[in-house]
Amino acid sequence: MLAEAMASGCVPVALGSYDAVFDIIDGESCGRICPVPFDKNFFAGELAALMRDGARLAEMAGNAKRRAEMFSTASVADSYENLFDAIGCRR
């Protein structure tokens, strides 16, 4: 659901409670990850900072949309096709 939200321009502030979140949110350009899972103070502070800075929020929303393209069905299918070509798994 994280990539789908990003594709719609949502800027995620996510809990760092699962490994995949670090693959989906790239640095701080398209979202924020709470470095200590369930750190409610960090989480609330990041949300407040984004709500106060419309320009930063808009920039991050655009970055989130672009980042989410990596996880689209077409992009993932292309990655598999390239992998299959690289290892010679074509019929």
* Digit-coded pLDDT (tens) for 25-80: 988 899 999 988 788 999 999 999 999 999 999 999 999 999 999 989 898 899 89
Which pTM value belongs to this model?
A: 0.80
Q: Which CATH number among 1.10.10.10, 3.40.50.2300, 3.40.50.2000, 3.40.1190.20 corresponds to the domain 2-86? A: 3.40.50.2000
Is residue 14 within 8 Å of 32, Cβ to Cβ?
Answer: yes
pLDDT of residue 75: 87
The CA distance from 56 to 83, in Å, is 37
**Which sequence spans correspond to the domains of the chain?**
2-86
pLDDT of residue 12: 95
Q: Find residue 88's DSSP bridge partners.
A: none
Residue 37 structure tokens = 């899972």
Dihedrals phi, psi of 38, to nearest 5 degrees: 70, 25
The CA distance from 23 to 9, in Å, is 18
